């Protein structure tokens, strides 16, 4: 089948950009969306044109690199899936699909569909990890953790830092990402020694990066490929208020 793409092309951060229309031929339903973009690039290279720049790595829904806005939706129309997990069986011959990069001041554009999401790395680095010396491996049942708490921590830890929450939010807020990273530590005993220090540092880093504020639009939860719940944002707020009181 043939698919018409309207793709954002921009040579660099300071260069003007705009949507360019291409027709991709030879698309089969079994292709992933990224394989379809690979096909487009093969056709562009054959014509001697500059291939489309886009990010990808694992192509298994694990790394979160494939950050695209497809027809106005972060990662595309499939719920609980990354762009690389979207397949062309979703489309039919002659469909027109618009593809754009994630839009946020904190995610500066590099080229075409590639954005710099290193702001997430800096927020994570500000909070650090569990720095306490845990020593040798201990028995898995040595520290008893309620099953419900362990499940919540694991759900939060499933965040892959793709940035879909930021792209979907009308305020470009990073609250769901930060909330997930705070929750995965705050819910477990290993994260308690640096509990207050961590949340204060990560909130400060998030604000410094220029992300917007959360106004409870719920778009982040709807767009998250790992379906992380907005209840984590409520936990982040509680952790922040608690840390503010304890630190004073």
How many CB atoms are closer than 10 A to CB 85? 18
Judge whether 77 and 33 are in contact, CB under 8 Å.
no
The domain locations on the chain are 3-111, 118-247
What would you measure as the largest C-alpha separation in the chain, in angstroms? Answer: 65
CA of residue 136 relative to chain centroid, distance: 34
Q: Could you say which architecture CATH assigns to the domain 3-111? A: Roll (3.10)
Q: Name the token pair of 204.
A: 């400060």
Q: What pTM value is reported for the model?
A: 0.92
Q: Name the token pair of 225.
A: 């490929």
CA angle 161, 165, 169 (to 5 degrees): 155
Judge whether 230 and 144 are in contact, CB under 8 Å.
no
**29/192 Cα distance (integer angstroms):** 49
Task: Provide the pLDDT for residue 58.
Answer: 96
pLDDT over 70 at 123, yes or no: yes
Lowest mean pLDDT segment, chosen from 114-118, 175-179, 186-190, 225-229: 186-190
Question: Looking at residues 208-234, what average pLDDT do you find?
Answer: 96
Question: Looking at residues 27-37, what average pLDDT do you find?
Answer: 97
CA-to-CA dists, residue 47 to 10, 41, 44, 215, angstroms: 19, 10, 5, 47
Judge whether 86 and 32 are in contact, CB under 8 Å.
yes
- 185-218 per-position pLDDT tens digit: 999 988 888 999 999 999 999 999 999 999 999 9
Task: Provide the pLDDT for residue 132.
Answer: 65
Sign of the alpha-carbon torsion through 97, 100, 103, 107 = positive
Tell me if domain 3-111 and domain 118-247 are identical in fold: no
Task: Provide the pLDDT for residue 33.
Answer: 98
Report the length, in residues, of the chain: 248
118-247 belongs to which CATH class?
mainly alpha
């Amino acid at each position: 089948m043939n698919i018409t793409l309207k793709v954002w092309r921009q040579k660099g951060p300071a260069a003007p950009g705009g949507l360019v229309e291409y027709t991709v031929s030879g698309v089969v339903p079994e292709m992933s969306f990224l394989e379809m973009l690979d096909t487009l690039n093969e056709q562009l290279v054959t014509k001697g044109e500059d291939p489309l720049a886009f990010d990808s790595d694992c192509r298994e829904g694990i790394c979160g690199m494939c950050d695209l806005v497809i027809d106005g939706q972060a990662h595309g129309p499939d719920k609980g899936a990354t762009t690389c997990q979207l397949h062309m069986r979703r489309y039919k011959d002659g469909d027109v699909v618009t593809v754009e990069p994630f839009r946020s001041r904190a995610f500066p554009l590099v080229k075409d569909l590639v954005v710099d999401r290193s702001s997430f790395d800096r927020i994570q680095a500000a909070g650090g990890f569990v720095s306490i010396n845990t020593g040798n491996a201990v028995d898995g049942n040595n520290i008893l953790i309620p099953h419900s708490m362990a499940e919540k921590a694991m759900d939060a830890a499933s965040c892959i830092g793709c940035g879909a929450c930021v792209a979907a939010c009308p305020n470009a807020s990073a609250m769901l990402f930060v909330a997930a990273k705070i929750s995965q530590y705050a819910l477990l005993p290993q994260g308690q020694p640096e509990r207050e220090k961590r949340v204060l540092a990560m909130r400060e880093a998030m604000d410094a990066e220029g992300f917007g504020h959360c106004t409870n639009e719920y778009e982040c939860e709807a767009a998250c490929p790992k379906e992380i719940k907005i209840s984590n944002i409520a936990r982040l707020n509680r952790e922040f208020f608690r840390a503010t009181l304890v630190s004073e």
